Amino acid sequence: MSVNFTKPFTQQEAIPESAIERAVELLRSGRLHRYNTLKGETSEAELLEAEYASWQGTRYCVAVASGGQAMQIALRAAGVKPGDKVLANAWTLAPVPGAIHAVGAAPVYVETGDDWLTDLADLEAKAATSGARHFMLSHMRGHICDMDEVVRICAQYGISLIEDCAHTMGAEWKGRKSGNFGAAGCFSTQTYKHINSGEGGFLTTDDEDLAARAIILSGSYMLYARHGAAPSEEAFRKVRLETPNCSARIDNLRATILRAQLPLLEDNIRRWNNLYRAIEAGLAGASGIVTVPREQHEAFVGSSFQFHTLGITQADIPQFIANCLKRGVEVKWFGPEEPVAFTSRYDSWRYVADIPVLPKTLATLSTTCDLRLPLTFNEADCSLIAQIITEEAGKLVG
């Protein structure tokens, strides 16, 4: 008899009790807006910004309403104007082209290779010829490409780098935190990311002018001094009346929930990586399945797992996905023409004017399968998930 997996793939851990107590206190006070403080009181949002900047190792941090808003604000604050082109790796999630579109710019997609890393030869070619002055690098599903090369290419062509770290909060490349390689890092604290406030995000930077613009853009009014990791008054004086208020603030309730999770992140990363290694070990030698060893310089956060279904025909992949699901294993596939749930492909973002054909990316995605690994799973769960995938793939290998 075949065994099934019964835990949900979308169940996160509970919010720490200390945060629940503080949240109830805040609700009783009614002071949820980040600038609604008593005399001498420092808001939860301010404290969170100081703590995140310190954790991330950046001078400035602004907490915002979502990761998507962090990206929009970063693009604007970095000087992207309507009509501009922005380089972007083609394998990413819909909020990335959405942010580029929202600032009136258009993505120039860069190929993603079968190791799920941005194709740096294609990046260099497009950096040289596209006229784009910005690169939104999305470390999709936590895969971090050769950042020495990315930084070199950006410097050589005068391109400013913005990192989408929705899947790399806490990850590093050669010992340097993801998000700290370019002009700004953007993070999400949406439920399925590495810390969970339902919705939320951060923008981090070491550039004081960018930070000042970002804080005003986030909707600070003239209360910009009441931020926990903000530049000096002088930096704001230059931009405060020339920068629009885009109302994307975080609130104190979310800030409090996040503050309680930050001290747990390091240990959670270790737990995620144990789950990741359990899946990897369980799929080793599975027929029809190909896993990709991670780059040696990458200290990643294994909050999801990707594999290729190279031994299963394209026509059989939907059957494979359905058979896994029947046994409780939710495998997502990036291959289908029609977007499903959170999963979509660059050619389904039709509002983009020129959608290129990217043969490498399409070939990669046609066999790319994806598993979420929430911390409500344990290593035994992951071994069972890998066993089910191995059995179901085995049935379809030609």
- Residues near ligand PLP, by CB under 6 A: 66-68, 92-93, 95-96, 138, 140, 164, 166-167, 188, 190, 201
Please list the residues that pair with 94 across neighbouring strands: none
To ligand PLP, the closest distance from the beta carbon of 40 in angstroms equals 32
Tokens 């690098």 belong to residue: 137
The DSSP annotation for 144-192 comes to ---HHHHHHHHHHTT-EEEEE-TTTTT-EETTEETT-SSSEEEEE-STT
- Least distance from ligand PLP to the Cβ atom of residue 187, Å: 8
The full DSSP string for 364-382 is HHHTEEEEE--TT--HHHH
**CB of 286: closest distance to ligand PLP in angstroms?**
27
99 vs 396 by CB, closer to ligand PLP: 99
Minimum gap (Å) between residue 372 Cβ and ligand PLP: 11
Strand, coil or helix: what is 40?
A: coil
Min dist. Cβ of residue 13 to ligand PLP (A): 18
For the record, the structure tokens of 229 come out as: 């990791």
Position 165, amino acid: C
Could you give the CA distance from residue 14 to residue 183 in angstroms, rounded to a whole number? 34
Nearer to ligand PLP, 138 or 387 (CB): 138
Nearest residue relative to ligand PLP (C-beta): 67
- Cβ proximity to ligand PLP, 109 vs 157, nearer residue: 109
Q: Judged by CB, which is closer to ligand PLP: 198, or 244? A: 198
Please, which residue, 201 or 302, has the CB nearer to ligand PLP? 201
Q: Is 332 helix (H, G, I), strand (E, B) or coil?
A: strand
Structural tokens at position 153: 């290419």
Under 8 Å CB-to-CB from 389, ≥6 apart: which residues? 282, 283, 286, 289, 307, 324, 329, 331
Residue placing its CB nearer to ligand PLP in the complex, 117 or 140: 140
